[in-house]
Amino acid sequence: MTERLISIEPATGHQLWQGAASDVEAEVARVVESWPAWASTSITSRIETMRRFANVVRAKEEALTDLIARETGKPLWDARTEVAAVINKVDISAAAYSERTGHRRLEGAVGAKQALRHKPHGVMAVLGPYNFPAHLPNGHIVPALIAGNGIVFKPSEKTPAVGEMLVQLYHEAGVPEAVVRCVHGGPDVGRALTAHPTVRGILFTGSAQTGIAINRAFADQPDKILALEMGGNNPIIAWDTGDVASAVALIAQSAFLSAGQRCTAAKRLIVRDTLYDRIVGDLKNLADRLVIDHPHADPAPYMGPVIDMRAADSLTDNFIHLMSNGGKPIKHLARPRDGLPFLTPGIIDVTDMEERPDIELFGPVLQVVRVETFEQAIAEANNTRYGLSAALIGGSPQQYNQFWANVQAGIVNWNRPTNGASSSAPFGGVGISGNHRPSAYYAADYCAYPVVSSEAEQPRASIEVGLRSEPIIADR
C-alpha cells in the first residue's frame, strides 16, 4: 500500500497538503535519461533559464510567501525574506559559477594550449530542511542546474507543499520537467534516493545525526560527492559594551528569530560576570515583549510556532532536563496554546551544570553561562563538537582579533547576530557542522569538477634523447 503523506499548518492544526510517497526508481531514471541534454546546452542558455525562474518567482511572490508562512508557521514578513533570497540566488550563483568554476585558458608548452573547464557530476540528490523549505534547497539546486546537473529533490516530509511548488516554478521557467524532479516521502525515501547507484552527489541540509549517517553510509564511495550542512550549537559572547540595549537586541535576534529554528541561531549566551545582571535582566524583559502569534496576525508577530507538536514536546522535555540537572530558569519555556506548537522563548542559566548537553536545541531556547575572563569565554564557546556560527558582542578590536583567531566556527561575527548570513559569501562550518564543503557562494565548487586539457590543432612531437644513432637490425 502506498504511503500517504499529510502536511499540517503548525499555527492552526489544519491540513494543508496530502500526497503519496514517490517512486524513487522511476524519478531517478527520468533524470538519468534527460540530464545529458541539459548539460549539452550552453552555459548562457542555462543561466538565462535560471533568470527566467527568478522572474517567475517574482510573479508568484505572494503565493509562495503565503505557502511558506502557512506550512512552516513563520511570520509573513519572515517568509517574504525567504522568497527574496530565492530570487537573489540566481544572480549570485551565475557570478559564482563564472568566478569559481568558469572556463580558463592557462599557460601551455610551445604550440599547445592549456584549458581549464568544469563538468557537471550528473544526477544530484538534494535533501531539504523544513525551516527554510524554499531558500535552502534552492541554494543547492540553482548552482547545480547552472553547472549542468540533473536534480532529484526530496523536500522535508514536514514541508512537502513548498517543495512541490518550488519545482513547479523551475518547470514554468523552462527547466525541462525530467531534469528537476520532486520526490516525497519520509526517511525510507531519503535513504533510497541517496543510495541509488546513479546518483553522483548528495547535497544535504539537516540534523547532524542524519548527516553523519549519510557520511558513514558512503565512506567507501569516494566517487560520490557529499555536501553536508548540519547545524550548530552556536555561541554568542557578550562582553564590555556601552550600548547594552543594542547588545540585548542582537542576542534576542540571534536566539529567537524564526522561533530559534535557524541552524545559525545562538544556542549559548556566554556573558561576562560583571555584565550578567544587566544583560540577562534586559534580555528577559525584551523576550517577555516578543509577540508570538500565527503568521498572518496583525500586528505582525516576531515569532510563530515551531514546526510541529513533536518538536515542541522535545524542546519542552529538554528544558525540563536542563532544570533537573542544575540549570536555573530565567524565563520558562511555556506552551501558550493547547494543542498547537507555540512556545515562548526560554532562557536558562546552565553555569553550574556539571555536564551540559552538546546538542542543537532547534527552537527558542537560550542557555546562559557566566565567565570571568575573555579566555574563559572563548574556551566555553569552543566547548562543543559543532562549529557553524559564533559572534562577539562588545569587546575591543584586539579582543575581536583574539576571538576570530581562536573560535572554532565557519562564520565569525562582531557586533552582529549569529544568523542572517549572506548568500554572496561562503556558508559552512567545522566540526560536525559540515564536511568542509561550504554552500552559498561556494556551492559552485561542489556542483562541478575541474577538467584540465592540453590541446593543439595538429600533432607535433619528436623524441630528441635516448635514441640509438642507427636502428638495430635483427639477425635473420
* Residue 119 to residue 84: CA distance in whole angstroms: 29
Please tell me which residue in 71, 229, 360, 380 is annotated as part of the active site: 229
The reply to whether 263 belongs to the active site is yes
Cell digits of residue 276: 550578567
Q: Is 14 exposed, middle or buried (0-12, 13-18, 19+ CB in 10 A)?
A: exposed
Q: Is 375 exposed, middle or buried (0-12, 13-18, 19+ CB in 10 A)?
A: exposed
* Residue 124 to residue 21: CA distance in whole angstroms: 19
Inter-residue contact 381 to 235 (CB < 8 Å): yes
Nearest to 355 by CA among 314, 394, 393, 383: 383
Alpha-carbon dihedral of residues 431, 436, 441, 444, nearest 10 degrees?
A: -150
Nearest to 284 by CA among 253, 245, 320, 330: 330
Please tell me which residue in 9, 182, 263, 360 is annotated as part of the active site: 263
* Residue 56 to residue 65: CA distance in whole angstroms: 13
The reply to whether 229 belongs to the active site is yes
80-89 residues labelled b (16+ CB within 10 A) or e (exposed):
bebbebbbeb
CA dist list (Å): 218 to 138, 153, 470: 24, 19, 57
Catalytic residue numbers? 229, 263
